[in-house]
Amino acid sequence: MTGIARLVLQRLGLGLVTLLIVSVLIFWSVELLPGDAAQEILGQSATPETVAALRHQLNLDQPPMTRYTHWLQAMAHGDFGTSIANGLPVSKLISERLGNTLFLAAFAGIIAVPLALMLGILAALLRNSLFDRAASIFTLTAISFPEFFVAYILILFLSVKLGLFPSISNITPSTDFAERIYRSFLPALALTLAITAHIMRMTRAALINLFSLPYIEMARLKGASQGRVVMVHALRNALAPIVNVVVLNLAYLVTGVVIVEVVFVYPGFGRLLVDSVSKRDVPVVQAICLIISMTYILLNLFADIVSIVSNPRLMHAK
């Protein structure tokens, strides 16, 4: 077995273990409650019957280990239990909204990633120029702004003052694709602004680090063109950190989407999560947290594997 394959397998195994432990953590979080979880969720005024019913619904009347294995098995089969708030199957609540959220995240990602990489490379090349300084102030400001501030500014100007886009993203399963893009344009733009700033800043930093290395100076001294220095010499080694940055930001999208969805009343699952938290609807929150954490862990795993595979030093077995 080559070194690369072993490293990748090791990393995959570690990722799997992390996933399992996180699932235990999300499942056991209910146990953290002092006393009886059902009583705690329903409050002091609940009758003994409703408490008993909820205990049964949450399967609190069975031993924890049995409950956990049942829960995990059911999750693996796509059965996320039933919501406490309205008695509907959680999988039904989630499925449609998950699609909407993925659509929004993909929309933002497709615009933001190429744009941010280009701007980041440009800022690194034109270091300390007017463009670089302006970009650095812009990104620092964008990072410091709360997402809802950016979102409301977009609403104020593009929706209320100019009337270009709707301020509420009213999307139903029957909305066609073009209409969907139009109605989700503002939330996608808000997300794009947030992650573009992050990716750009970190791409710039990664490249500037590289440009100071002796082998880049060597390439310049032997007369390689600027384009060749960037594309052939610098970018290959910057690939790992840049992929890491991009994936980290895509993972960030998964959580950033929560606030943007609330602002634009977008029917995604971030809003479902917020509603469920305020209703203390534990099964829904657990299911959404598990899905989001899984996505997050898998994305990070992917970034790690890319950085292992793209490292030329590991290509040849010693």
* 3-state helix, strand and coil shares in percent for the chain, rounded to the nearest 5: 80, 0, 20
- Judged by CB under 8 A, which stretch of 69-77, 112-120, 180-188, 281-289 contacts another protein? 281-289
User: Interface with another protein includes 18 (CB under 8 A)?
Assistant: yes
What b/e sequence results for 2-34 when a residue is b if at least 16 CB atoms lie within 10 Å of its CB, and e otherwise?
A: eebeebbeebeeebeeebeebbeebbeebeeee
User: Interface with another protein includes 140 (CB under 8 A)?
Assistant: yes
In three-state secondary structure terms, 178 is helix
The 3-state secondary structure of 47-116, one letter per residue? CHHHHHHHHHHCCCCCCHHHHHHHHHHHHHCCCCCECCCCCCEHHHHHHHHHHHHHHHHHHHHHHHHHHH
Residue whose CB is less far from another protein, 174 or 212:
212
Question: In the bound complex, what is the minimum distance in angstroms from residue 105's beta carbon to another protein?
Answer: 13
Looking at 25, 118, 126, 134, which residue binds another protein (CB under 8 A)?
25
- Judged by CB under 8 A, which stretch of 188-196, 224-232, 234-242, 284-292 contacts another protein? 284-292
User: Interface with another protein includes 304 (CB under 8 A)?
Assistant: no
210-269: which residues touch another protein (CB under 8 A)?
251-252, 254-255, 258-259, 262-263
Looking at 234, 285, 287, 303, which residue binds another protein (CB under 8 A)?
285
31-90: which residues touch another protein (CB under 8 A)?
32-33, 37
The tokens for 275 are 């509603």
- Using CA of residue 140, residue 143, residue 148, residue 152, what is the dihedral sign? positive
CA 312 – CA 174 distance, rounded (Å): 49
User: Interface with another protein includes 146 (CB under 8 A)?
Assistant: yes
User: How wide is the angle at C-alpha 190 spanned by C-alphas 184 and 192, nearest 5°?
Assistant: 95
Question: Which distant-in-sequence residues (6+ apart) come within 8 Å of 208 by Cβ?
Answer: 124, 127
Closest CA to 251 of 297, 184, 218, 201: 297
Residue whose CB is less far from another protein, 119 or 291:
291
Closest CA to 96 of 243, 264, 266, 307: 266
Q: How many helices (H) and strands (E) does the chain have?
A: 14, 0
Residue whose CB is less far from another protein, 48 or 163:
163
167-196: which residues touch another protein (CB under 8 A)?
167
Question: In the bound complex, what is the minimum distance in angstroms from residue 191's beta carbon to another protein?
Answer: 14
Looking at 112, 155, 194, 216, which residue binds another protein (CB under 8 A)?
155
Looking at 201, 266, 281, 287, which residue binds another protein (CB under 8 A)?
281
- Judged by CB under 8 A, which stretch of 56-64, 112-120, 286-294, 305-313 contacts another protein? 286-294
Name the residues that contact another protein, by CB under 8 A: 18, 21-22, 25-26, 29-30, 32-33, 37, 127, 140-141, 143-149, 152-153, 155-156, 159-161, 167, 208, 251-252, 254-255, 258-259, 262-263, 273-274, 276-278, 280-282, 285-286, 288-289, 292-293, 296-297, 300
